[in-house]
Amino acid sequence: MAQKKFDFQKQLDQLEKITEELSEGELPLEGAIDKYARGIKTFKACSDYLSAAEKKVTKMTQGLDGTPHQELFEDQDSFDGSDVKE
């Protein structure tokens, strides 16, 4: 089974929707708790995705001779967001 690619924008939109629903205060307690738990999970997945993306960005460092050069972060693992339900 092929892994599904993490869609950051879709997850961010979902998080915004969850936040709005919770802010309205219309959900029964159990529904609000479920939404909150899903929101926390979605937030963590988005945060992990951003952290992984940040690690892929090159950073500028200064060489021994004082000249700048680019160096890739060593951890190049991709985040797949597989723990987030759509």
Tell whether 85 is covered by a domain. Answer: no
For residue 60, what are its two tokens?
């500028």
Q: How far apart (Å, rounded) are the C-alpha atoms in residues 83 and 86?
A: 10
- Overall domain count for the chain: 1
Q: How far apart (Å, rounded) are the C-alpha atoms in residues 61 and 81?
A: 30
The parent domain of residue 37 ranges over 8-71
Q: Does pLDDT of 79 surpass 70? A: no
Tell whether 1 is covered by a domain. Answer: no
Q: Does the global pTM surpass 0.75?
A: no
Tell whether 21 is covered by a domain. Answer: yes
**pLDDT, tens digit, 9 for 90 and up, residues 65-77:** 767 666 665 554 5
**83 Cβ neighbours under 8 A, 6+ residues apart:** 41, 45
Tell whether 78 is covered by a domain. Answer: no
**pLDDT, tens digit, 9 for 90 and up, residues 12-39:** 999 999 999 999 999 999 999 999 999 9
For residue 34, what are its two tokens?
């479920």
